[in-house]
Chain A
């Protein structure tokens, strides 16, 4: 009988996660491939599945992480049981090129049979070669969040935004309690 950890876990249902990792900016496509391959092998061994892989590319970090001002962002959607993510995060901590990762659970009960995968390890090279992005444009379509990458040319026109109204008064209160849905906080990996 399959082991379940929480009463929400229904038999035959998996959880769906969003997984973001930031790699050191000097990672080559070959480095990225090795990391994704290792992740894929682990997930497959744990009977999970990568259903989406996106390379957002090199972006400037909003703050310095481990002496890096830039990072290569990878975005994945993963299906798996409760015991998958701790293993994935253990792997992330072992890979020195990974400077930050974050897992977000987006669904508790996903029927893996009903979900099609856009990910194929065989065509990974094509995904990795994609150009770097300057900005992400996120929109919603049928309840699904769609991410569009914006490169330098098309981002020019949307620059002028009227955000003056809010900045007039300075904000002073900010709740410090963290109430994010984030399942696990990225920890600094020890090398």
Chain B
């Protein structure tokens, strides 16, 4: 019914605004991993839907996590 357009996708929302229990911290690689590609790159907010405030925190925390090898810089495809 209504929207049948296959291009239509669910409206994106910021995962951190929507969920207070989602702690954005470099020590939490499990959360950060959802916001990097399988090659280790940071997913831009226009794709993930993260708001600009949280995206800013996110990139900062991802960069810290990379320094201590909790998440990769770039994955070499093995």
Contacts and interface: CB of A to CB of B under 8 A. Distances in A.
Contact of B30 (A22, A73, A137, A168): A137
A180 B41 contact: no
Contacts of A158: 30
Contact of B34 (A62, A163, A169, A185): A163
B63 A178 contact: yes
B37 A170 contact: yes
B45 to A, nearest CB: 10
Interface in B62-78: 63-64, 66-73
A165 B68 CA distance: 28
A135 interface: yes
A173 interface: yes
Nearest to B28: A138
Contacts of A175: 42, 59
Interface in A151-188: 158, 161, 163, 165-175, 178-182, 185-186
Most buried by B among A20, A75, A186: A20
Contact of B67 (A137, A179, A185): A185
Nearest to B76: A63
Contacts of A116: none
B68 A171 contact: no
B28 A166 contact: no
Contacts of B43: 166, 171
A63 B72 contact: yes
Contacts of A165: 10
B70 A138 contact: no
Interface string B5-38: 0000010000000000101010111110111011
A168 B44 CA distance: 12
Contacts of A136: 27-30
Interface string A133-147: 001111110000101
14 contacts: A22-B68, A59-B70, A63-B73, A100-B68, A102-B67, A139-B23, A147-B27, A166-B43, A166-B47, A170-B37, A171-B47, A174-B42, A180-B64, A181-B64
**In the A-B complex, the 8 residue pairs with the closest CB atoms:** A138-B28, A61-B69, A62-B72, A180-B63, A171-B43, A62-B69, A163-B34, A138-B23
Interface of A: 20, 22, 59, 61-63, 65, 71, 73, 75, 100, 102, 104, 135-140, 145, 147, 158, 161, 163, 165-175, 178-182, 185-186
Interface of B: 10, 21, 23, 25, 27-31, 33-35, 37-38, 41-44, 47-48, 59-60, 63-64, 66-73
